[in-house]
Chains A and B, each alone.
Chain A
């Protein structure tokens, strides 16, 4: 009896092992045309215009194309557009589409489709709304020509249409783009290098993208979002999983690519044989601690200034990120290394001054509420360090622990802190979202109509307009610098520095693109 039980156990183990090996071999063979990826989040929403979520944006880049796209220098380059003609008075932009552009259902991409797509985007996106505010007419002029007529010259037309991050003006068929902007689209037909396999979509688990064989890439070399988008694999599979599970799967070769290796696992992943860790994002992420400008005590500009003086950027970064390879002290509100980078107006840490300023502000120990998302690996330590730095200057800080979803809801409250309100929350933007004064929604200062925190500053709004209407790069730079000085002086937010989240990949994966956004064209498994 004992012997037979052992036999059974041995047999079972052998069967299990045998079962795995052929499966593994088959997997290795099939992998040449399949790229298995763990993206940074779970794809839940398929409409990149309806939401600003980065994962939906990345999904958008897989299946849609754009008229213009930013290159490595963050300059807009034609993508679907073949010819651009700008009138001498800078009021009329005539864009002609490239030959060979087709939707995934085989029909041709037309100018009418693009006009409808831009109009839908213009209802949702901040830069889009600004562009449409100065737009006189946007119309299709024949099958392939889009004509945009402005009421007055506007300096960032192409930067707006070529915007790299949410909401990206993706082109959709007219029938899809006519969906009201406040309703999610259902049809995922695009004209990008991959097609979405909606029938096999399992939210929370798997999203599959098939190569669009009729896609006609540009001839230019790939450069961030611009250049030739060549799908080098037949299929890209996005698997949603927990960070530790993703690490194990990458180490064992079950997946090829992990989009965001969490800071605590970087060292472990780096040591694994056959795995590489690399930062592909030149503009990184910008950490912010946002003030509530409506609620005491942070409605007092002197208190905000005192808080800014109490903070040391490197303390946030050291604690949350740890490895200096993946963070950078950056005094600019624009990502360091980009066009508008400047130190102008930055508030350096000076604890003694902070204490004095706090006394002068009339602060009398009122409670300062910080919303702390304990489920976020970077923002949670950011908030904890912030609390300690503020306690060090004598503030009465209350860290309110909650999940990120609750932070998103709570931050909408304009009530006083004893009625569910707040004073500060920590967040971050990808560098691509803050490259200029207009891309950063948080730079806005339009008061209660604006972004959470509701900073109100007419001068800042004026400087944003100056940037938008700048006639030359020098004027644009001047306006961007002046805006930074103004935002720091007004205590707009605490700049918590720049950090990078590297990707992890098997050493047989090639063709990664350096960009603030993750793209999967050009990538292959050799």
Chain B
């Protein structure tokens, strides 16, 4: 196992290098120039050229790449072209909202979706199953922003129970955190509930037909134990995979929810940076996202060995 972990950690180096080269090349090939955004609408070409030179953007691409890679090797993600702040500081500011929103969404989604999926599989073909699957399709099809605005309209503007936007840290304002995180969690959770429910159902259906389930029932095991102790445990590998991938996607991909609810997370940071062509932020964030993906995938693989002792690396 340790060898596997070491191997996986070591494999991150070439993967990160490839990601670094690709993202650097893609950004330089994409139209747009931070110097023109900085200079503003009134600037002349001459002024823009001076800003470009002061930012080092007029240097040959390979020189810019080398400078950046050397910075990365020193643990420095660079400095934002616009705000003049270290990229690591900007990411640090945005990490907490993103991680906590991810956490609440995953807890909410899994605690709703897994029982629903088990229930649907247990009652496969019944109206309960069809109802759950119908809601699951709805969850997939309902645009996140529409659900967000419906919740805001109902609970923020009409009932005035919850604030319509914003984020409060649980470390300074726990109640504020609770009130600001509810609607984004539900909004973001819907699609994951749909996804995890379907995967759970499909996985459970496969397992419920196995001999050992029949044996457990024949032994007189109560149905709840059959479902959750025998079936669900054996159906857990694909469910864990989809939950893990969900976490990775949520960390970088909650842009719409963050925008609708004005949550200052990483998703908005990357979109703002792309719109302004703030290269160091985009590059730094993509590296962080890639690293997160690799680590989460590794954790999923490790989780497999716990969920299914037959799996060995």
Interface residues of chain A, those whose CB is within 8 Å of chain B, are 15-17, 19-20, 22-24, 42, 44-46, 50-54, 124, 126, 166, 180, 182-184, 186, 202-206, 239, 241-242, 244-245, 248-249, 251-252, 254, 375, 402-406, 408-410, 412, 427, 429, 433, 441-442, 449-452
Contacts and interface: CB of A to CB of B under 8 A. Distances in A.
A124 B50 CA distance: 10
A441 B41 CA distance: 9
Contact of A183 (B46, B54, B276, B277): B54
Interface string B257-301: 001111010001100100111000000000000000000000000
Contacts of A184: 84
21 contacts: A16-B161, A16-B178, A19-B178, A20-B161, A23-B163, A24-B160, A45-B83, A46-B84, A52-B39, A52-B41, A180-B54, A184-B84, A245-B164, A248-B164, A404-B275, A405-B37, A405-B276, A406-B32, A408-B32, A410-B31, A412-B36
Contacts of B173: 23
Contacts of A450: 44
Contact of B38 (A51, A404, A433): A51
A182 B54 contact: yes
B176 to A, nearest CB: 5
Contacts of A427: 41
B138 interface: no
Interface string B93-113: 100000000000000000000
Contacts of B37: 405, 408
4 A-B pairs with least C-beta separation:
A52-B40, A19-B175, A205-B264, A44-B82
Contacts of A433: 42
A177 to B, nearest CB: 17
Contacts of B149: 244
Interface in B66-105: 80, 82-85, 90, 93
A409 B40 contact: no
B85 to A, nearest CB: 7
B270 to A, nearest CB: 10
A24 B178 CA distance: 13
Given A15-B178, A16-B182, A409-B31, 9 more contacts: A16-B162, A20-B175, A51-B38, A245-B259, A249-B166, A405-B32, A405-B37, A408-B37, A451-B44
Interface residues of B, number: 55
Given A46-B84, A254-B166, A248 B41 contact: no
B165 A182 contact: no
Given A202-B93, A249-B164, A242 B262 contact: yes
Contacts of A182: 50-51, 53-54
B215 interface: no
Q: DSSP class of B's interface residues: helix, strand, loop or mixed?
A: helix
B27 interface: no
A245 B175 CA distance: 21
A402 B149 CA distance: 27
Between A17, A203, A248, A251, the greatest number of chain B beta carbons within 10 A of the residue's beta carbon is seen for A203
Given A403-B275, A409-B31, A53 B40 contact: yes
Contacts of B32: 403, 405-406, 408-409
Interface in B12-41: 31-33, 36-41
Nearest to A206: B264
A248 B36 contact: no
Nearest to B161: A17
B36 A408 contact: yes
A441 B44 contact: yes
Contacts of A242: 259-260, 262
B189 to A, nearest CB: 15
A449 B50 CA distance: 14
A20 B162 CA distance: 6
A248 B44 contact: no
A50 to B, nearest CB: 7
Contact of A52 (B43, B84, B277): B43
A80 to B, nearest CB: 24
Interface string B116-158: 0000000000000000000000000000000001001000110
A241 B83 contact: no
B163 A20 contact: yes
Nearest to B263: A205
B42 A52 contact: yes
Nearest to A255: B165
A130 to B, nearest CB: 13
B48 interface: yes
